[in-house]
Chains A and B, each alone.
Chain A
Amino acid sequence: MNARGRQEGNAVTQALAQIGLCGLFLLTLLAAVPRSFRYVRETIRQLWFVGAMSLTIIMVCGLFVGMVLMLQLYHVLSIFGGTSASGMVVALSVYRELGPVITALLFAGRAGTSITAEIGLMRATDQIDAMELMAVDPIAYVATPRFLAGVIAMPLLACVFCAMAIFGGHLVGVSWLGIDNGTFWSNMTAEVDVHTDIVNGVLFKSLAFGAVVSLIAVFQGFTTPPTSEGVAYATTRTVVASSIAILALDFVLTAFLM
């Protein structure tokens, strides 16, 4: 957890050290899970903060993603006379890719940054050291609850995002562009499968993204230099690293799950 450990060496060794530290930090977090059961209220408070408070942005974004997706698909599919399939394509693309990925990107921006900034400031103002003096394990009290809350919140948020996207697609497709309501749903239900699309697509991916984003956010917060500049830098790094990790992991997961 020593932030100064990565000051030496060139860029490659620094990056490797960063990844290594992050991996070790994950093990520390997981090891602290049983100890953090004492602080279950803290986990719930974090869940409220990263999950429930993110609902607004997730719902609004989901709605608009579904709407714009339907608008685009309708115009492309009308070339081939296949507009009746647009509801199904909206559902499949949202479940398999857009839902988990956009939710995770928004989650990194909305919740990941604030976790990093909060922990970073705790470090800068010596609150973490104070906890250690009071014999409160800062990993079990600060890090693990936030990590667990992120892992739990992401799949739920992704589900809400997908539901809103379908609603938005329905709004534009059926109410505005005049796709038949029955066709919209029957084509969707004919092609969407619970296991491949909902479980493997939405749930599994968003669970993985939730773990990665929360891990990066907590790790960046804990390893930030205890200065105001360091906190700002760590917050930026959380967004950048999370976004890259989400999109790269998405490709890997898709390749494995398909």
Chain B
Amino acid sequence: MSQKRSSYAVGTGLFIVFGFTALAYLATQTTSVANVHMGASYTIEANFANVGQLKERAPVKVAGVRVGQVQSITLAPGKEIAEVKLAIDKRYETIPVDSVASIFTSGLLGDQYVGIQYGNSKKDVADGGTLALTKPAQQLEEMLGKFFGAGGVADNLGGTYSVTANFTNVGSLSVGAPVKMAGVAIGSVQSVQADPVKLDARVTLAIDKRFNQIPDDSAAAVFTSGLIGTQYVAIQPGGSLDALKDGDEMILTQSAMQLEDLIGKFLVNGSPGDKTNAGTGKSSDTPAGKH
């Protein structure tokens, strides 16, 4: 009986030890506690005009390799400058003083991290030193703002005239999307409708009256701003002497590029299945990229 009892006791003891080991593992290895204990590191400072969404403990990378982490982010007293302290692993002690610290985003939607690009100086930054050269975080809003320029301004000016253009495919062009010439917004899309007779998309563009010198043989194309941006109508001026007037139709149009089509063309170029594609049938007999 006592033999049996002691086996219970040992088993129970093992179970308790095992349970607490699991608890200790969870608490110390998978939580923020794990970040407190770091290998030997030294601290350098960098001042940024804008840190974006950079968080404490975000990685610090050189050439994409993690060399440390962000220790603290504080606002410099009385100034509009973020002071970022970086804890760098002791193994990577040789960072030139004229290196550039930038805030990057991993991928399109990923977390932000600090990237250090080495300079040419022979002197290395010391413990507690400062990296003078920094590049702030790119704000997506600012970037988009640059793309769109004064998008929508034409709406406010009152005086617009309408022209129509027929596209075989408008992609995801929506009402209100900007109309641009040479990259500058000159109007907006008033309506997108399916043409019941021609079986294509009829787009009405409202263009600012100030731009009344657009040649009537200009081409309208549906473009995308950036890789994931919204679509807009770009007007490429032609050479005619007559200008577009209210109610005119633009004859030359270029439909929206479907990313899938485009990639498809790259990938299957030269394969027999592509021959049905009008216009590219001939060139696809000789595979592209082969000499």
| Chain A residues near B (Cβ < 8 Å) | 41, 44-45, 47-48, 51-52, 55, 80-82, 84, 91, 95, 152-153, 155-157, 159-160, 162-163, 166, 182, 185-190, 192-194, 197-198, 202-203
Distance (whole angstroms) from the CB of A5 to the closest CB of chain B:
36
> Given contacts A182-B66, A189-B32, A190-B35, are A157 and B8 in contact (CB under 8 A)?
no
With both beta carbons as reference points, the residue of chain A lying nearest to B110 in the complex is identified as: A84
> Given contacts A44-B9, A81-B108, A190-B55, are A159 and B30 in contact (CB under 8 A)?
no
CB-based contact A159/B12 at 8 Å = no
CB-based contact A189/B34 at 8 Å = yes
Q: In this assembly, does B26 line the interface, its C-beta being within 8 Å of a C-beta of chain A?
A: yes
29 of the cross-chain contacts (CB-CB < 8 Å) are A44-B9, A47-B15, A51-B12, A51-B19, A55-B15, A81-B107, A81-B109, A84-B106, A84-B110, A153-B15, A156-B16, A156-B22, A159-B20, A159-B26, A162-B26, A163-B26, A166-B30, A185-B29, A185-B30, A185-B34, A189-B57, A190-B32, A190-B57, A192-B30, A193-B31, A194-B32, A198-B31, A202-B23, A202-B26
CB-based contact A82/B110 at 8 Å = yes
With both beta carbons as reference points, the residue of chain B lying nearest to A41 in the complex is identified as: B5
CB-based contact B107/A48 at 8 Å = no
Q: In this assembly, does B184 line the interface, its C-beta being within 8 Å of a C-beta of chain A?
A: no
With both beta carbons as reference points, the residue of chain A lying nearest to B34 in the complex is identified as: A189
Within 8 Å CB of B108, what residues of A?
81
In the A-B complex, the 3 residue pairs with the smallest Cβ-Cβ separation, listed nearest first, are A156-B19, A52-B15, A159-B22
CB-based contact A194/B27 at 8 Å = yes
> Given contacts A81-B109, A189-B31, are A95 and B26 in contact (CB under 8 A)?
yes
Q: In this assembly, does B183 line the interface, its C-beta being within 8 Å of a C-beta of chain A?
A: no
Known: A159-B26, A190-B32. 12 other contacts (CB 8 A): A44-B9, A81-B107, A82-B110, A156-B18, A157-B19, A160-B18, A160-B19, A163-B26, A186-B57, A189-B32, A192-B32, A194-B31
Within 8 Å CB of B92, what residues of A?
none
Complex: A81 Cα to B33 Cα, angstroms = 27
Q: Which residues of B in the span 158-215 have a Cβ within 8 Å of any Cβ on A? A: none
CB-based contact B31/A44 at 8 Å = no
In this complex, which of B15, B25, B32, B57 has the most chain A Cβ atoms within 10 angstroms of its Cβ?
A: B15
Within 8 Å CB of A82, what residues of B?
109-110
Complex: A189 Cα to B31 Cα, angstroms = 4
Q: Which of B14, B22, B66 makes the CB contact (< 8 A) with A52?
A: B14
CB-based contact B31/A155 at 8 Å = no
Within 8 Å CB of A202, what residues of B?
23, 26
CB-based contact B27/A198 at 8 Å = yes
Distance (whole angstroms) from the CB of A62 to the closest CB of chain B:
10
Complex: A250 Cα to B128 Cα, angstroms = 49
Within 8 Å CB of B22, what residues of A?
156, 159-160, 162-163
Distance (whole angstroms) from the CB of B139 to the closest CB of chain A:
19
Q: Which residues of B in the span 3-51 have a Cβ within 8 Å of any Cβ on A? A: 5, 8-9, 11-12, 14-16, 18-20, 22-23, 25-27, 29-35
Q: Which residues of B in the span 96-111 have a Cβ within 8 Å of any Cβ on A? A: 106-111
Complex: A156 Cα to B22 Cα, angstroms = 8
Complex: A95 Cα to B19 Cα, angstroms = 15
